[in-house]
Amino acid sequence: MQNQASREEFFGHNRKPEAKLKTLWQIFLGAMDDFTLKILVVAALVSILVEMLTSDHREIAWIEGFAILCAVILSSGITTINDFQKQKQFAELNDISEGRKMVTIIRDCEQIYTH
């Protein structure tokens, strides 16, 4: 009878591959991929450019556009943090679920319970 390691080496294993978690940066870029946020970023940049070119008060002309950019970054940042926490919690629940699974194996007419 072969041992577990040699059987696994010969036949391979039947475990599911672990899901790769997204990084904070990947989640942030996904949050920024919203059409409305893209429009707001373009509007903010246009606002800054137009105000800087046409305003007599250039030292404060950038404030409105900058405020829009801050709101977009804040919104995306909060979304990123929430999604990252949900991802971690989901992975933890999957690990707990996988640990509780019992499989019934029948070998030589005898039932064996294993994880």
pTM above 0.75, yes or no: no
Give residue 115's pLDDT. 59
Please state, for a pLDDT cut of 70, what percent of the chain lies above it: 94
Query: Is 19's pLDDT higher than 80?
Result: no
Longest dimension (CA), the chain: 91
**Is 39:68 a contact under the CB 8 Å cutoff?**
no
Which comes out higher in pLDDT, residue 106 or 65? 65
Q: What is the DSSP letter of 33?
A: T
In three state form, how does the secondary structure of 43-97 look? Answer: HHHHHHHHHHHHCCCHHHHCHHHHHHHHHHHHHHHHHHHHHHHHHHHHHHHHHHH
Query: Is 73's pLDDT higher than 60?
Result: yes
Give the start-to-end residue ranges of the domains of the chain.
22-114
Rg from Cα positions in the chain: 27
